[in-house]
Amino acid sequence: MTWLRQTHSVGFELVRHFLRRMFDGDWSSSPGQWISAATSLFALLLPAGLLLIREGALDPKYASRYSLMSRAAGSAGIRAAVIADELALITLLFCVTGLIALLQWQSLFPSRRDYLALASLPVRPRQVFLARFVTVLLFSGVMIGSLNLLPSLIAAIEFGGAWRLDSTFFRHASVQAAASGLACFFVFFAVVATQGLLLNLLPPRLFGRIAPYVQGLLAGVFLLAGFYSWSIKQWPLDTIGKLPAFGEWLPPVWYTGVRQTLLGDTDPFFVSMRQRAFVAAALALFLTVITYLISYRRYRKLLLEAAGIPEASGLWRCNLLRLLAGSPRREAVIDFMAKTLARSRTHRLLWMVYIGAAAAVVLNSSLIDGALFAHSKGWGKALQFLVLFWPLACSVVILNGFRHVLSVPSELRANWIFQLTESQGRVEWMSAVERFVIAYAIAPIYLILFPVAGGILGWGMAVRMTTQQILISLIMFELLFYSWQKLPFTCSYQPGNQPLVAIIAKYIAILGALVPILSVMVAVAAEVWWLFPVYGLNFAAIWIWARRLRREGWGETKLLYQDEQTAVTNLGIKELTYTGTAAHIQRNAV
């Protein structure tokens, strides 16, 4: 449209600028690269949403869960099944919205970069804050509406079952949209309010240190709750009956109460939950507005006086770095990677998110698989399962996550210094990356979990088990970094290179099939002492072979500084397109 290409008021242009840059930033190398990742996410969620419809809702000839509950417990059984499904759905939407808000953490308040970029323009801080707040409102509205459209339509069919479907479909759909939409509204603005409170209560330097850890903790909580939401569907009637005893302070329960009361349920518990839901949503929005107003008053202090994050220093750190490096060139590269990871909020956030994801995976397995082992074989077997599963599962998530963190660039335009000097120490640079990943991603897992395994299994068995697990983790590292031929933080990165469906399928296959099989092999070799050298030698041989294969050609091949798809930084300058033949272009030039 011609109207959109024209220049309008300051507020309109600021809102348009902030909306365009909402998903851009330090995550990728150039603007607009988030579109491919978002398209991949939508392609994954659409068929996943259709899987929510059970066969009983599509064909009345087949007995759905609701018809079975109706036969077993009458109307009370149907009500319990619907409440469990509704609670699971709202929990899942709640967690997805929270994760999106955390990923947009850098774009929820005006930043130092906004101030510096707009300082030369006739723009007042009041206009910047107002435009950013309007942008957040617009983004949240579109995101919440898009996220709830398909679940609301599906829930209206599924929760009643095709065998009970009547003319109230649109009423059920609108009530579902209101309840789940209000839940998403609450969690989104709760995250915004949390950032605002941290921003105004903490000193600027301390905020830069603490904020990524808060983001990582919240990401772990949302991921854990999202994983566990699939188990809520299987809650029996007795558990639903005890909901007032343990669900009073769980936000998804509040918004389940909104749906139940809007559909005519007069249960006093759900009536009180509905009131709590409205108060919580209003409080989240109120705190967001208040923190925006306070931040506006402290604008210059928050943005201009906020210096870089102070670095950890000390003799012990220098000695440890030299011991890990072994040579001056490796020490310089490791120091560069450590300082970049410590200074960059984006990289620390990504790292905290992956750590939270690893914690969510192991805790979810503890709550489900560990509970099953405890019920059938006792708590001793349950704890043995956990120390067997945790290290390999953490290795899968953390190694993949660390590879992603190292792929995201930091100050991409400054990589020319590495391009000029890489031929002088290319082998040592790659060796430094290897040591850095092992020290930061693999070693902490076993330093933390080995004492736990020793206390549960005994030290002899723990040593045999941990030795095999370390070898398997090193094999994972070799396979993941087989094609790695770049210095961390210096190469352009384009998200969405791999389809999200393929990434999710890879994680499910590894965590659901490969890790349990390897855990069983490790457990058998740890218990049967004469199998330990057989399995250990095989794992060691595979690791040595994979390591030699990965290191083959080191020092000969140039490092990469651009992703597979060449990333070109968009400076906002319109391209000049010339059409016609070469002769025509030359004639015009003359």
List per-block mean pLDDT (blocks of 10 residues) for the chain, which spans 590 residues: 64 78 57 51 50 45 50 65 85 89 82 71 79 87 86 74 55 88 93 89 79 84 84 79 83 91 86 93 93 77 54 56 80 87 80 82 67 53 74 87 86 83 83 90 89 85 90 91 86 66 63 78 84 90 92 78 56 37 39
Angle between helices 379-407 and 443-457 (to 10 degrees): 180
How far is 408 from 412, CA to CA, in rounded Å?
Answer: 9
How far is 471 from 558, CA to CA, in rounded Å?
Answer: 29
- List phi, psi (to 5°) of 248: -65, -30
572: left (phi over 0), alpha (psi -120 to 50) or beta: left
Question: 45: Cβ–Cβ under 8 A, 6 or more apart, which residues?
Answer: 150
User: 432-459 burial, b if ≥16 CB within 10 A, otherwise e?
Assistant: bbbbbbbebbbeebbeebbeebbeebee
Alpha carbons within 13 angstroms on the beta-carbon side of residue 265 total 23
Residue 5, pLDDT score:
62
354: left (phi over 0), alpha (psi -120 to 50) or beta: alpha
State both tokens at 186. Answer: 């609450």
Residue 68, pLDDT score:
55
Angle between helices 531-551 and 515-527 (to 10 degrees): 130
How far is 271 from 277, CA to CA, in rounded Å?
Answer: 10
Which residue's structure tokens are 């925006």?
292
**What burial class does residue 399 get, using C-beta atoms within 10 Å of its C-beta: 0-12 exposed, 13-18 middle, 19+ buried?**
buried
* Residues 381, 385, 391: CA angle, nearest 5 degrees: 150
DSSP state of 60: T
Per domain, the residue ranges of the chain are 13-23+50-304, 329-414+422-551
Residue 277, pLDDT score:
93
Which residue's structure tokens are 């509970």?
371
Residue 187 contacts residue 81 (beta carbons within 8 Å) = no
Q: Which of 559, 540, 331, 350 is nearest to 435 (CA)?
A: 331
**What burial class does residue 292 get, using C-beta atoms within 10 Å of its C-beta: 0-12 exposed, 13-18 middle, 19+ buried?**
buried
Rg (CA), the chain: 27
Alpha carbons within 13 angstroms on the beta-carbon side of residue 483 total 3
